[in-house]
Structure formats: structure tokens, C-alpha cells
Amino acid sequence: MQPAAQAATSGVSDRPSRTLAPLRVMRPIRINRCICSRVLFSDLKEDAAAHGVDTLEALQAVREFGVNCRRCHPYVRRMLQDGTTEFNEILQDER
């Protein structure tokens, strides 16, 4: 059997498909909490203000967070520096 005839009977074509994959709409990231401890950065900000703390370690003495994967640490440090509680970018710990 010829390849074209075989393709016609098998349903498989040698020609490239003209069907495009559907576009995936990427939603912007939104990071606003310690996921492991389920604590919002906005709540941590209030705790920091209420207790007058300005370091991550001092804040951990006030509220339990950031003891598992620690990926929230750079966000909390930034929050303590400039007050940001919601992030749209991945921050890496610089330590």
C-alpha cells in the first residue's frame, strides 16, 4: 500500500497539522503570604508595627511563620524594608 493511501485509511497524515495548540493565558503571579504557615504578609506587617520589630527573626518571635521552606523570607524582609505586602515577582534570598 502506498504511504498516502495508508495514511488515508489509517487516519494519520504525513502533512503537518494546521491545528494550533490553544494559547495558554498566563496569569500574573501574586505572592502575599507565607504559604506554609498560611500567614498573610499584611498580617505580619501589622504584627511588626504593633510590636515594633524590624527584623524577620524578631517578627518570628511574635508570630509563627517561615519555619518550613523559608521561601517567604525574602518577601518578609522586603516587607519590613518598604511595606510591600503583595508581590508580582519572584524574590530570592540574598543570604
Burial of 63 (C-beta count, 10 Å sphere; 0-12/13-18/19+): middle
Q: Which CB, 51 or 70, lies closer to ligand FES?
A: 70
Nearest distance from C-beta of residue 9 to ligand FES, angstroms:
56
| Residue 3 neighbours by CB distance under 10 Å | 9
Footprint of ligand FES on this chain (CB under 6 A)? 34-37, 65-72
- Helix 73-82 to helix 41-51 angle (10° resolution) is 50
Q: Which CB, 7 or 60, lies closer to ligand FES?
A: 60
Q: Which CB, 7 or 40, lies closer to ligand FES?
A: 40
